[in-house]
């Protein structure tokens, strides 16, 4: 028997309703906050991700699904959404209109990672990007949208972590101090962090390996090296969160490793996911547009891993669907008449279904139960001859006889 590729997961019909609920809440809230949906391609030229994510990162070097096109160009399945959104914004000049400066997206992403709970090689994200706005209140708006999204889904025990990583100039001063601190401790760091010491020392601070966390316990704090401008921006963000009574925790270990990231950075974690506790994260990336050969453009956004959200969501929370009417047609005349009635119900906007295999009323009622039908229309040869049918309430088991021509109006009134 053929099986799915390792690290990929089918979303089965009994799970799809939960996904629909998550997506409905996300789309509704993003729209309420003034964001418009954008749909970007599932693969791009590899150069886009090499420029945006960084050619020396693990994602580019080890995790991307890259393949040659027939013309010899290198293409990559998207490992994240922001780069594609920025590329689309530049290509289509979306910054020219205020209506397209706040965007959101959904879709699958692809990384060749070690599969584990809530992490797959094809995974799905909901993300937002606010572009061309430098005001610290847009940082607050984006953070609050993420926080309220999780609260609306009913997630509990969440922590909002926030930090400022300043500008590139701020970090250059800090990194010099950090390397001085780490230098005598190199032998106590894990192999990855020993490599990061030379290539990306900031990332040593957010390493989850216990011996690295212990070694950096007394490390310098980046916020102490912020310029006056960066500090004012960050304090304005914190004041904005306080004014809206959004709880947060200052986390000096929360950093981003690439040069185009700047100032506000944040993530939301849950204690119910083990070591991989982050369910949504984001921050400012004021230098990304220039990295992609665009104009200097302030920007901030976040991304949410939907697989991790499903692990936290109550199983009884699903997308609300319209009541289901099951049409139980049987007999030489009853079955074709029922099929025509099914079409009429659907044409009038009623959610309706039928079991083509069922031959007897008993079998059809059993199918109605399995489909969790709210109502069942019973229509056999006798009913057709009389011009009537039976409408059965599947919850109360009560029944009423109705004229076939009145059923659509009756159902609309009852539902």
Q: Where are the domains of the chain?
A: 13-167+227-312, 325-414
Supply 279's token pair: 């369910």
> Per-residue pLDDT tens for 354-392?
999 888 999 999 999 999 999 999 999 999 999 999 999
CA 172, CA 393: separation in Å to the nearest integer?
Answer: 71
Supply 118's token pair: 């809530």
With a CB cutoff of 8 Å and minimum separation 6, the contacts of 325 are 345, 350, 351, 352, 353, 373, 374, 375, 376, 377, 411
C-alpha dihedral, 87 to 88 to 90 to 93, nearest 10°: 180
Whether 182 contacts 219, CB under 8 Å: yes
Among the listed residues 388, 386, 343, 380, the one whose alpha carbon sits nearest the alpha carbon of residue 363: 380
Fold match flag (13-167+227-312 vs 325-414): no
Q: Name which residue leads in pLDDT, 341 or 206.
A: 341
What is the CATH topology of the domain spanning 325-414? Rossmann fold (3.40.50)
> Per-residue pLDDT tens for 289-298?
999 999 999 9
Average pLDDT score over residue span 5-17: 88
Whether 269 contacts 277, CB under 8 Å: yes
Where is average pLDDT lowest: 63-77, 82-96, 138-152, 265-279? 265-279
> What's the CATH architecture for 13-167+227-312?
2-Layer Sandwich (3.30)
Q: How confident is the model at residue 414 (pLDDT cuts 50, 70, 90)?
A: confident
Q: Which range has the top average pLDDT, 164-178, 189-203, 306-320?
A: 164-178
């Amino acid at each position: 028997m053929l099986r799915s590729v390792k690290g990929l997961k089918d979303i089965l019909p009994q799970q799809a309703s939960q996904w629909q609920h998550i997506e409905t809440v996300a789309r509704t809230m993003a729209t309420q906050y003034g964001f418009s949906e954008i749909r970007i391609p599932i693969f791009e030229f590899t150069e886009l991700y090499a420029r945006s994510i960084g050619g020396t990162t693990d994602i580019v070097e080890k995790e991307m699904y890259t393949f040659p096109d027939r013309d010899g160009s290198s293409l990559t399945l998207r490992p994240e959404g922001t780069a594609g959104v920025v590329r689309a914004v530049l290509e289509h000049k979306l910054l020219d209109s205020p209506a397209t400066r706040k965007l959101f997206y959904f879709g699958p992403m692809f990384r060749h990672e070690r599969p584990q709970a809530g992490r797959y090689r094809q995974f799905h994200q909901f993300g937002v990007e606010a572009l061309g706005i430098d005001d610290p209140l847009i940082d607050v708006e984006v953070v609050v949208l993420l926080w309220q999204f999780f609260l609306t889904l009913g997630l509990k025990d969440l922590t909002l972590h926030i930090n400022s990583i300043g500008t590139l100039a701020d970090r250059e001063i800090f990194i010099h101090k950090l390397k001085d601190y780490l230098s005598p401790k190199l032998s106590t760091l894990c192999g990855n962090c020993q490599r990061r010491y030379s290539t990306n020392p900031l990332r040593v601070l957010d390493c989850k390996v216990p011996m690295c966390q212990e070694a950096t316990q007394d490390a310098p704090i980046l916020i102490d090296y912020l310029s006056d401008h960066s500090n004012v921006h960050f304090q304005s963000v914190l004041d904005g969160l306080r004014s809206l009574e959004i709880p947060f925790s200052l986390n000096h270990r929360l950093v981003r490793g690439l040069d185009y990231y700047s100032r506000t950075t944040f993530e939301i974690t849950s204690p119910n996911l083990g070591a991989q506790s982050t369910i949504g994260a984001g921050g400012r990336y004021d230098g990304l547009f220039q990295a992609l050969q665009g104009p200097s453009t302030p920007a901030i956004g976040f991304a949410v891993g939907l697989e991790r959200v499903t692990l936290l969501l109550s199983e009884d929370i699903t997308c609300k669907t319209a009541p289901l009417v099951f049409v139980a047609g049987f007999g030489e005349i009853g079955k074709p008449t029922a099929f025509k009635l099914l079409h009429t119900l659907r044409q009038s906007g009623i959610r309706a279904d039928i079991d083509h295999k069922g031959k007897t009323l008993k079998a059809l009622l059993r199918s109605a139960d399995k489909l969790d039908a709210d109502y069942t229309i019973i229509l056999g040869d006798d009913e057709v001859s009389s011009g009537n049918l039976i409408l059965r309430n599947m919850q109360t088991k009560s029944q009423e006889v109705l004229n076939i021509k009145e059923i659509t109006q009756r159902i609309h009134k009852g539902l």
